[in-house]
Amino acid sequence: MNGYYHITTYGCQMNVHESEKIAGILSDLGYKATEKIEDADIAVFNTCCIRENAENHAFGNIGMLKKLKTAKKNMIIAVGGCFTQQMGKAENLHEKFPYVDIIFGTHNLGKLKDYILKKQTVKKAVIEILEDDGKVYEEIKPLRTSYPNAWINITYGCNNFCTYCIVPYVRGRERSRRSADIINEAKELVALGYKEITLLGQNVNSYSNGTDDLSFPQLLEAIAGIEGKFRLRFMTSHPKDFSEELVKVISRNPKICKSVHLPVQSGSDVILKAMNRRYSSADYLNKVSMLKRYIPECTITTDLIVGFPGETDEDFIATLNLVKEVGFSSAFSFVYSKRDGTVAARMENQVDPEVSKRRIMELIATVNALTRSQSEKYVGTTVEILCEDYDNKKNMYLGRDEFGRMAYFRSEKDVIGEFVNVKINSASGISLTGEII
């Protein structure tokens, strides 16, 4: 054994899964996981740069490690992910935190093992940021940490260049894994007893783009056809590519959850255009109607941004109206964060932070009211919950229904990884409480 590892992850699901791959690499090297960073012989930070606060958070935590590193000279500190991949940021990081031993980007996860081995023999920092080579690497096996849920990458990178977004610059051009590899991974996971599979990509609907025999709807249907009881989800869908063919596949396959994450970002056509989203609010609402026509019970979640450059009160009201019209079951609401190198960062009419603050509060209150009213409708009903975890503070098990609604309940025996029927007795905002029946 090589000692203990600790990984700190920032950002999205994509990064959470990438950290599972980092864990796979570290355990191959003989390291064991520890929850406590003070006990770690190697501490890895998997960073995110999608918004400034994610960056600041990572900076704060890396800064705090200086004392520990001074006391534990042989500890290895490695920083990777989206932040370090940005132009010039690896050098900045090295200057600011000279005690960081390894700095790598999003395109060289496959070389992390070599960097660690090298660092064990050299004194100076090992820094390498590679450019996107357009390839898909299959050799890194993740060490999964989220049973009964499992994530599978289906695409990497993004070609959309929404004007606010840094992702296409740090994750490279969109490329798809081979459908045979994806289907095999899903089969293995089901055979191992995983009960929920989520397919991951920045824009899953553009999967393959002619590079594979299967389109996204065909891939989804092939995975839904695997024997055994499990749930199938996918994220994220770009509304411009969200097709009727896909909706039909969701509607006819009971394993595919009737809940779709469809980020709208704004309800204003002027802002959507400035964001380069390539749909109008009417296009979005048409897709929602089409979805509801095939699957009336389907719930929709979304991502929203307030304070995009040039956003007026009128634009913001259009967002509020769209949110109410669609009736999202929940939403992630963000204040626009200026990202260097993106088109929107060069726009002149940046919104006053005080105005953005006021708007985000109003938006969150609107979204929360929708979520709460939908949760209240659950009271008295019985829902099938996939038990995911045990909450030590509440002394209750917890899990979600197919629509992603969280429920807490008590159980005599450990039911993590099982589907249980729970009668809902009360609702509080986003979560429900009930009893197994």
List contacts with ligand SF4 (CB under 6 A). 158, 160-162, 165, 167-168, 202-203, 238
Give SS3 for 68. Answer: helix
CA 291-296-300 angle, to 5 degrees, is: 60
Written as one letter, the residue type at 137 is Y
Decide which of ligand 5AD, ligand SF4, none touches 160; Cβ closer than 5 to 8 Å per partner kind. ligand SF4
User: Do the beta carbons of residue 265 and residue 277 sit within 8 Å?
Assistant: yes
Classify strands 42-47 and 3-9 as parallel, antiparallel or unpaired: parallel
User: Do the beta carbons of residue 6 and residue 43 sit within 8 Å?
Assistant: yes
Decide which of ligand 5AD, ligand SF4, none touches 137; Cβ closer than 5 to 8 Å per partner kind. none
Q: How far is the CB of 345 from ligand 5AD (least distance, A)?
A: 9
Residues of the shown chain interacting with ligand 5AD in the complex, contacts defined by CB under 6 A: 12, 50-51, 164-165, 263, 265, 303, 305, 334, 336-337, 339
* Nearest Cα residue to 317 out of 247, 285, 278, 270: 270
Residue 285: is it exposed, middle or buried by C-beta count within 10 angstroms (0-12/13-18/19+)?
Answer: middle
Which CB sits closer to ligand SF4, 159 or 411? Answer: 159
* Nearest Cα residue to 321 out of 371, 273, 366: 366
Decide which of ligand 5AD, ligand SF4, none touches 90; Cβ closer than 5 to 8 Å per partner kind. none
Q: How far is the CB of 357 from ligand SF4 (least distance, A)?
A: 22
H runs (alpha helix) in 227-339: 244-252, 269-274, 281-294, 313-326
Give SS3 for 433. Answer: strand
Q: How far is the CB of 245 from ligand 5AD (least distance, A)?
A: 23
Decide which of ligand SF4, ligand 5AD, none touches 336; Cβ closer than 5 to 8 Å per partner kind. ligand 5AD
Q: How far is the CB of 157 from ligand SF4 (least distance, A)?
A: 9
Which CB sits closer to ligand SF4, 158 or 199? Answer: 158
Q: How far is the CB of 167 from ligand 5AD (least distance, A)?
A: 7
User: Do the beta carbons of residue 244 and residue 302 sit within 8 Å?
Assistant: no
Decide which of ligand 5AD, ligand SF4, none touches 305; Cβ closer than 5 to 8 Å per partner kind. ligand 5AD
Q: How far is the CB of 325 from ligand 5AD (least distance, A)?
A: 19
Q: How far is the CB of 253 from ligand 5AD (least distance, A)?
A: 26
Which CB sits closer to ligand SF4, 233 or 238? Answer: 238
Q: How far is the CB of 238 from ligand SF4 (least distance, A)?
A: 5
Which CB sits closer to ligand 5AD, 356 or 433? Answer: 356
Decide which of ligand SF4, ligand 5AD, none touches 51; Cβ closer than 5 to 8 Å per partner kind. ligand 5AD
Decide which of ligand SF4, ligand 5AD, none touches 148; Cβ closer than 5 to 8 Å per partner kind. none
Q: How far is the CB of 315 from ligand SF4 (least distance, A)?
A: 18
Decide which of ligand SF4, ligand 5AD, none touches 378; Cβ closer than 5 to 8 Å per partner kind. none
CA separation for the pair 282, 349 (Å, rounded): 25
Which tokens is 158 given? 């993004």
CA separation for the pair 311, 422 (Å, rounded): 44
Q: Compute the Cα dihedral for 100, 106, 112, 115 and give only its sign.
A: negative
Helix 216-224 and helix 179-191: axis angle, to 10°?
Answer: 20
Decide which of ligand SF4, ligand 5AD, none touches 339; Cβ closer than 5 to 8 Å per partner kind. ligand 5AD
Residue 159: is it exposed, middle or buried by C-beta count within 10 angstroms (0-12/13-18/19+)?
Answer: middle
CA separation for the pair 242, 234 (Å, rounded): 12
Cα distances from 46 to residues 39, 109, 408, in angstroms, run 18, 11, 30
